[in-house]
Amino acid sequence: MSSGCVDVNPEASWRSRLHLDCAQALYVHLPFCVRKCAYCDFASWETSIGDPLARQYVRALEERLAEAADAGLMRCCKTAYVGGGTPTMLGASLLGGLVGKLRGACPGLQELTCEANPDSLSDEVLRDLVDAGATRLSIGVQSLVDEELHALGRLHDARAAAERVASAVRSGLDVSADLMCAIPGQTPASWHHTLTATMNLGVGHVSVYPLQIEDGTELARAVGDEDPSWNAPEVQAARMDQARDVLEAAGFARYEVASYALPGKACAHNQAYWTGLPYLGLGTGASSMLTREGYDRLRSLCTKLPDLPDGIARVRLTMTSSRFEFVHALGFDDLSYDIECLDESQAAAEDLMLGMRMTSGIEAGLLEHSRNVLGRERVDDVLADACKRGLAAWRGGRLAPTHDGWLLGNELYGMLWDLVKEGVQGLSL
C-alpha cells in the first residue's frame, strides 16, 4: 500500500492520489440545531440546548475518531472540518473538547475549521476553540439585512451577526463568512450592502451561494408551485456577478465557483474536495470518498462492508445510521452506509468535473490520465467543444472554466460526465 502522505495542494501530482490508503481530509458532522432554517434540507434536527443526546453523540464521535486513528485511516489528514447542524450550540467545553480530541487523532492537521452560527458563537466558545487548536471559523451570516434574515428563518439579526464576526476576527482565527443570494426581499442595493459590510468586518474569506429551494423544506412549502422571481436563474447569475465584482475590487480572488479569499486565506479543506483527495466523513449523514485501498482500511473497522468487485477505483459512502443509532453503536460494525462505486472511467470523468469548479482548472497530470482512460481523441474533442462554446479556455497549459463556464456549470459538467464509456454504470452496494 502507498504511504499516503501528500500535501493538500492542488498543484501536487494528481497521479499520486490514485491509490492513497488513508484520508487526506476529515469531515465531522454534528446534526443539532436550535431551530431549522426555512431553506435547510441538511441532516439536522431541532434540539434543545443541553439535550443529553448531544453529549452522548459527541462521546460516540470521539470513540469513532479514536478507532479510525488506530486503524491508520487519518494518519495523513491535513485538514478537518466540523460541520452541522450548528456545532457552536454545543457550548464551549463540549465543542472545545471534541476539537481537542480531533487534534489528537490527526496530529498532522494544518487546518481545522469549525462552522458557527452568530446566535451561539459566544466569547467563551471562541476562547475554547482557539485553546483546543481550531484555526478557522466558517460563520453562517447569510445576510446583513434583518428582513432578509427573517425570511430565511435565521435566529440572529444583522447587528448580532456583525458583532460576532468582528469578535471572531479579533480572536485570531481565520474567519470565513457564508453569504446567500437570490433570497426573498433581496435587491442589488441590499446585496451590495451585505457584501461590503461583511468585508469591512475583516474576514479573509467569503463563500457566496445562490439559494436553492429544496423539496420538503418550509420555504418550498411556502412558495408551492410558484417559481419566485427573486430566485430566477437570471437573478442568481446577476447576484453572483455582482458578488464577483465587489469582492474582486476589494482584493478577494475567486478560487472556486462559490469561494473568494484574500491572499493566503483560501480554504485548504475546500480544495481537498475539488482536487480528488480522499476524505473521511464521521457522523450521521456524513459522506466519505475513499480509494479502493482506503476502503479496505475502513473494512478493517466495519467488517460488514462488502468486498468490492474488480475494476472499482473509488468508493463514495454516506453514513445512514440515525443520530440515535450512532449514539448507541459500539463500533463501526454497528454503523450503516449507502455505498456507490466508480470504476476508473467514472473516477476520471468525475475528477475532470471537479477540476472545472476551480479557477486553476484541470492540471496536466489529470488531463493525461483522462486521455489514457477515456480515450485521447474523445477527451480532446470534448475539451475542444467546451472551448468553442466559450465554457472553458486554455491558460498556461491548464484548461480552466470561463465566466460562462461558471454560470453554465451544469452544461459544462454534463459534457465531461458524458465522456464515461458507454455501458458503464455506477454500482451501489
Residue identified by cell 479556455 is 393
368 and 257 assigned to the same domain: no
Domain boundary (214, 240, 272) is at 272
109 and 257 assigned to the same domain: yes
pTM over 0.75: yes
263 and 376 assigned to the same domain: no
Number of domains in the chain: 2
252 and 383 assigned to the same domain: no
Whole-angstrom CA distances from 37 to 29, 162, 413 are: 17, 19, 30
Q: Do 11 and 363 meet the contact criterion of CB atoms below 8 Å apart?
A: yes
Residue 48 included in any domain:
yes
370 and 265 assigned to the same domain: no
Containing structural domain, residue 159: 14-272
263 and 371 assigned to the same domain: no
Dihedral of the alpha carbons of 153, 157, 163, 168, in degrees to the nearest 10: 0
Residue 289 included in any domain:
no
Per-residue pLDDT of the chain (429 residues; tens, 9 = 90+): 333 333 444 334 666 677 788 999 999 999 999 999 889 888 889 999 989 999 999 999 999 999 999 999 999 999 999 999 999 999 999 999 999 999 999 999 999 999 999 999 999 999 999 999 999 999 999 999 999 999 999 999 999 999 999 999 999 999 999 999 999 999 999 999 999 999 999 999 999 999 999 999 999 999 888 889 999 999 999 999 999 999 999 999 999 999 999 999 999 999 999 888 999 999 999 999 999 999 999 999 999 999 998 889 899 999 999 999 999 999 999 999 999 999 989 999 999 999 999 999 998 888 888 898 899 999 999 999 999 999 999 988 889 999 999 888 889 999 999 998 654 444 555
Q: How far apart are CA 403 and CA 392, in angstroms?
A: 8
Q: How far apart are CA 317 and CA 37, in angstroms?
A: 26
Q: Do 405 and 238 meet the contact criterion of CB atoms below 8 Å apart?
A: no
- Quick: pLDDT tens for 110-126: 999 999 999 999 999 99
237 and 373 assigned to the same domain: no
Q: How far apart are CA 187 and CA 184, in angstroms?
A: 9
Q: Do 297 and 21 meet the contact criterion of CB atoms below 8 Å apart?
A: yes
What's the CATH code of the domain at 239? Answer: 3.80.30.20
Domain boundary (250, 272, 294) is at 272
Phi, psi at 33, each rounded to 5°? -135, 150
236 and 371 assigned to the same domain: no
Domain boundary (212, 247, 272) is at 272
Residue 330 included in any domain:
no
Q: Please state the length of the chain.
A: 429
Q: How far apart are CA 153 and CA 36, in angstroms?
A: 8
